[in-house]
Structure 1
């Protein structure tokens, strides 16, 4: 994965050269099990070498890139669904969620003095609401 990132970064650097840049020789080197790309000949094994000519960037392409950067981006997906018009409203709670909250509050209030009757009562309410 690291070599792929290096290749992408190297590609971006090559593409960012100005229009009048000349072709350069690129070397793909292997040293100590790692692969690197460089403009100088390799000290270790050379896996590949080639001439790299930067792409010509026209003013029209540059203007289009700027226009795309200024466009608003679509809303991010959350929970597998797009945000709806209800995004600003408070979420509604179901009977199951209310029962679970009531049980948690009752258990917190009782603390260590919680007994079987209290637990049975709230567990039954949660079961009835959720199942």
Structure 2
């Protein structure tokens, strides 16, 4: 996982979105352990409260289960999506598109504004 400080989404939402995408793609299968709040915060260089907020959101929405000292894991039955493969494909296509624009010299904030404008005008 990566948190992009220049992204329009707040860091906790980036974590939530990435965990969901990893679950939907099968990269994080049901029951897979997640790092502790402190460990992930250190890895991502964010405040522990940021990870705690993301984990709370994921738990409230049924994506993860916290089991005290045993740790936090992907839920045995995470929320069903209408079409997880299609969502993962969309996510991958958008990520690839954004990375290609970054390589061309556009900033992430410029890309975010352009995408927001394009989606809003439809």
Q: Say whether the fold is shared (TM-score over 0.5).
A: no
TM-score by length of 2: 0.27
TM-score by length of 1: 0.26
Pick 1 or 2: higher relative contact order, CA cutoff 8 A, min separation 6: 2
- Whose Rg is larger? 1
